[in-house]
Chains A and B, each alone.
Chain A
């Protein structure tokens, strides 16, 4: 069953409202109220927003947190890094701005049925969906290790919060401003070995996810990667976000990042093609 056909998990399209926008380091943390969307959230799902009248393509954002804000019911927290015209528009909006919100979209992280050790690897703002995932895993008595990475301290997401939600936390930054100097690819093999993880969950850029998937395969762990790429409709309508994968039978095929993803099995993605884009 896909999310779209299960009524209580089906995505909604609603006019929401930006309640607050806070700058933390290089990111903006947006609190958004969008009736019914937060209630349907599962870690790894995302929302699509419209960014002003001129831009026809949607912008997709990971859901970082769902919380109850007095008077508004459940709200969404999104982590946004202003990189292009759409995200720059979004972070410049004052509280009270109406927002067209569609979500929650996509296939979430699959949770293990048994209490197994898990490693969560997040890079930059893309680490956002891993924090609610860590909570769900801890509820299932999984030992959670966390590897968070960023180009520098400003691009590191919630390192403090990370220490609360995980048994062990490894931090790497490109410039060495916090934790070890390096990239996920440099350290993931060692961290994976020390954690004894049976499942690795990762969110970040394609090269990072590729490194995680490779390390997982080498150590015999399952990997689930949340692939981020530009989306147009984000709802499965336009065929604009093809991801080459290898199917059950070993035959190559294309899936849509927004509907069959964003979470995919790391050993199924044809990484050379995805990374080369």
Chain B
């Protein structure tokens, strides 16, 4: 099965707030998807301040997956997103394969979800299931896939690791992923040594190389490009190199209208 998206621009995980904040600047329903911040079984308080620092052409972030937990999300946030007719992709992270399966079960019972994005490589999170090898990634996707009703798409978000990303992509697709998202924030560190992620335009050439490697390795798969997408030209480059859609993240933090602007720009002259 491959994923079909209604529009080629999505909001990347962790960059759209709860959706309500972003909705002030544009209709969520017109986007290809709204990916939530990553949710875990139980609430996580997140890391200490400072959490985000500027770096040349990027942001270094150590939010450590602050989120209210899956049940709070399902009770308080999802209904509103569904009411907005947003195509909601719920990003999930587990501490174990069992937690990934449990998250999939709870989401599988929740109406209104367009799909699940499995966050396989949160670079700033402590204590989560350690995805080092492609088979780790595959086992997570298999666990999620097994516990979901048929027809709920699973997106697998991979690390932008140029050397391993093609192999990882093939593994997660074999395990049942409907689409691959490349890539996640790059593993980085805060000046005080805390693990962090690097996002923004600084990561774009690397993410592009990963996209190209994955498309070459899995030409029939749906691949969503993520990493530093900011301008209409960035979207065109990604689509030209085989992406089926793009996710916009860091650019939204600087201009909350970015996703809608990109969608309009792409719509005007076609991809």
Q: B264 interface residue, CB < 8 Å from A?
A: no
Known interface pairs A2-B20, A237-B22; 17 further A-B residue pairs with C-beta atoms within 8 A, sorted by A's residue number: A4-B23, A5-B24, A10-B24, A12-B25, A13-B25, A54-B56, A54-B57, A100-B254, A232-B253, A236-B20, A237-B21, A238-B17, A238-B253, A239-B66, A242-B49, A242-B66, A254-B45
Bound CA–CA A142/B15 (angstroms): 42
User: B46: which A residues are within 8 A, CB to CB?
Assistant: 239, 242, 254
B15:A237 contact, CB within 8 angstroms? yes
User: B218: which A residues are within 8 A, CB to CB?
Assistant: none
User: A235: which B residues are within 8 A, CB to CB?
Assistant: 17, 21-22, 24, 253, 256
User: B49: which A residues are within 8 A, CB to CB?
Assistant: 229, 241-242, 277
Q: B188 interface residue, CB < 8 Å from A?
A: no
User: B22: which A residues are within 8 A, CB to CB?
Assistant: 235, 237
A57:B21 contact, CB within 8 angstroms? no
Q: A16 interface residue, CB < 8 Å from B?
A: no
User: A241: which B residues are within 8 A, CB to CB?
Assistant: 49, 51
Using CB atoms, name the residue of chain A closest to B49. A277
* Interface residues of B, dominant DSSP: loop
User: A259: which B residues are within 8 A, CB to CB?
Assistant: 17, 21
Bound CA–CA A232/B254 (angstroms): 8
User: A124: which B residues are within 8 A, CB to CB?
Assistant: none
> Can you list 11 A-B pairs, Cβ within 8 angstroms, ordered by A?
A4-B20, A5-B23, A5-B24, A13-B256, A232-B253, A233-B252, A235-B21, A235-B256, A240-B63, A242-B66, A259-B21
**Given A230-B50, A233-B256, A238-B61, is A56 in contact with B21 using a C-beta cutoff of 8 Å?**
no
Please classify how large the interface on chain A is, using the bins under 10, 10 to 19, 20 to 34, 35 or more: 20 to 34
Mark contacts of B65-102 with chain A using CB atoms, 8 A cut-off: 1 yes-contact digit, 0 otherwise.
Answer: 01000000000000000000000000000000000000
Shortest Cβ distance from residue B198 to the other chain A in the assembled complex, whole angstroms:
11
Q: B37 interface residue, CB < 8 Å from A?
A: yes
Q: B54 interface residue, CB < 8 Å from A?
A: yes
Interface residue ranges of A24-55 to B (CB < 8 Å)? 50, 54-55
Shortest Cβ distance from residue A267 to the other chain B in the assembled complex, whole angstroms:
21
User: B59: which A residues are within 8 A, CB to CB?
Assistant: 56-57, 232
Shortest Cβ distance from residue A117 to the other chain B in the assembled complex, whole angstroms:
35
User: A229: which B residues are within 8 A, CB to CB?
Assistant: 49
Shortest Cβ distance from residue B37 to the other chain A in the assembled complex, whole angstroms:
7
User: B58: which A residues are within 8 A, CB to CB?
Assistant: 56
Q: Which residues of A contact B (CB under 8 A)?
A: 2, 4-5, 10-13, 50, 54-58, 100, 102, 229-230, 232-233, 235-242, 254, 259, 277
A4:B24 contact, CB within 8 angstroms? yes
Mark contacts of B216-239 with chain A using CB atoms, 8 A cut-off: 1 yes-contact digit, 0 otherwise.
Answer: 000000000000000000000000
B25:A238 contact, CB within 8 angstroms? no
Shortest Cβ distance from residue A14 to the other chain B in the assembled complex, whole angstroms:
9
B256:A102 contact, CB within 8 angstroms? yes
Using CB atoms, name the residue of chain A closest to B47. A242
Mark contacts of B244-271 with chain A using CB atoms, 8 A cut-off: 1 yes-contact digit, 0 otherwise.
Answer: 0000001011111100000000000000
- A56: which of B17, B23, B254, B257 is its contact (CB, 8 Å)? B254
Q: B16 interface residue, CB < 8 Å from A?
A: yes
- B66: which of A102, A230, A233, A254 is its contact (CB, 8 Å)? A254
User: B126: which A residues are within 8 A, CB to CB?
Assistant: none
User: A102: which B residues are within 8 A, CB to CB?
Assistant: 255-256
Q: B52 interface residue, CB < 8 Å from A?
A: yes
Bound CA–CA A210/B147 (angstroms): 50
Q: B200 interface residue, CB < 8 Å from A?
A: yes
Bound CA–CA A208/B16 (angstroms): 33
A56:B16 contact, CB within 8 angstroms? no
Bound CA–CA A57/B56 (angstroms): 11
A242:B252 contact, CB within 8 angstroms? no
User: A233: which B residues are within 8 A, CB to CB?
Assistant: 252-254, 256
Bound CA–CA A232/B14 (angstroms): 13
Shortest Cβ distance from residue A254 to the other chain B in the assembled complex, whole angstroms:
6
Shortest Cβ distance from residue B25 to the other chain A in the assembled complex, whole angstroms:
6
- B52: which of A12, A100, A238, A277 is its contact (CB, 8 Å)? A238
A55:B51 contact, CB within 8 angstroms? no
User: B201: which A residues are within 8 A, CB to CB?
Assistant: 56
Shortest Cβ distance from residue A250 to the other chain B in the assembled complex, whole angstroms:
17
A57:B256 contact, CB within 8 angstroms? no
Tell which of B37, B255, B256, B257 has the most Cβ of chain A within 10 Å. B256
User: B21: which A residues are within 8 A, CB to CB?
Assistant: 4, 235-237, 259
Bound CA–CA A50/B49 (angstroms): 22
Bound CA–CA A99/B146 (angstroms): 50
User: B66: which A residues are within 8 A, CB to CB?
Assistant: 239, 242, 254
Shortest Cβ distance from residue A2 to the other chain B in the assembled complex, whole angstroms:
7
Nearest first, the 8 closest Cβ-Cβ pairs linking A and B are: A236-B21, A233-B253, A240-B52, A4-B24, A237-B17, A10-B24, A232-B52, A236-B17
Bound CA–CA A58/B66 (angstroms): 21
B54:A238 contact, CB within 8 angstroms? no
Mark contacts of B22-36 with chain A using CB atoms, 8 A cut-off: 1 yes-contact digit, 0 otherwise.
Answer: 111100000000000
